[in-house]
Amino acid sequence: MLRATEMAQLLLRQRLKEGDVVVDATVGNGHDTLFLADQVGPTGQVIGFDVQKAALEHTTARLGERLHVRLVHAGHETLAAHLDGETVRLAAAMFNLGYLPGTDKTVMTGSETTLAAVQQILALLSVGGLMTIVLYPGHAGGGEEARNVLAFAQNLEDDFAVSRYQRINSRKPAPDLLVVERRR
């Protein structure tokens, strides 16, 4: 069975093409950033956000010579400000919520900033574009964030289709994948 992060990449692999513009809203250790960069190729663009300098340093090392990635040392809730003046339609955006593994677990995403970022992404997502959000309800603060993001997604207009990929037989809360597609 695929993990939530693997399922997100599988879905995007089927949708993305060379030249697309995409966002990694939570860069972390750069696994999704690298995946996105490889999917959109050198004619595409990846814009990645993280509040931790260490995350951006790890990601820069992981990316190597991929020059079509712009890393921004800021929270994902500032996305629109960093795209100001650009007429961008996003093919995809990825969120992997929570904290950066191996670092301070008190530095993590939260409902307020995540929902602000999600709303900005929805406004920029092209028709047929996907937004994936991996939720971690099992860590401190993660349950509240997951509930708030799910409640928001359940109330989206029909312009968006929302699906949830979830393991249902785990003894402790397992990560969920939320997928949002702009239909029109």
Strand partners, 108: 99
Q: What pLDDT band is residue 57 in, cutting at 50, 70 and 90?
A: very high
Q: What is the mean pLDDT of residues 18-37?
A: 97
Q: Which of 143, 34, 137, 50 is nearest to 100 (CA)?
A: 50
Distances from the Cα of 184 to the Cαs of 103, 117, 123, 127, 163, in angstroms? 40, 20, 12, 5, 16
pLDDT at 5 over 70: yes
What pLDDT score does 143 carry? 92
Which residues constitute the domain of residue 54? 4-182
Q: What pLDDT band is residue 1 in, cutting at 50, 70 and 90?
A: confident
What pLDDT score does 56 carry? 96
The CATH number given to whatever domain includes residue 10 is 3.40.50.150
User: 88 and 21 in contact (C-beta within 8 Å)?
Assistant: yes
pLDDT at 45 over 80: yes
What pLDDT score does 103 carry? 76
How far apart CA 99 and CA 94 sit, in angstroms, is 15
Q: What pLDDT band is residue 14 in, cutting at 50, 70 and 90?
A: very high
Q: What is the mean pLDDT of residues 36-46?
A: 97
Strand partners, 176: 135, 166
Write the CB contacts of 33 (distance below 8 Å, at least 6 apart in sequence): 24, 27, 46, 48, 59, 62, 63, 69, 71
pLDDT at 64 over 80: yes
Q: What is the mean pLDDT of residues 52-66?
A: 94
How far apart CA 116 and CA 39 sit, in angstroms, is 26
The 10s digit of each residue's pLDDT in 74-83 is 999 999 999 8
- Give me 179's structure tokens: 């997928």
Domain count, the chain: 1
- Which long-range contacts does 86-90 make (Cβ < 8 Å, 24+ apart)? 88/21, 88/124, 89/21, 89/124, 89/125, 89/126, 89/129, 90/21, 90/22, 90/23, 90/121, 90/124, 90/125, 90/126, 90/129
The 10s digit of each residue's pLDDT in 90-138 is 999 999 999 888 777 788 999 999 999 999 999 999 999 999 999 999 8
At 97 the three-state DSSP class reads coil
What pLDDT score does 86 carry? 61
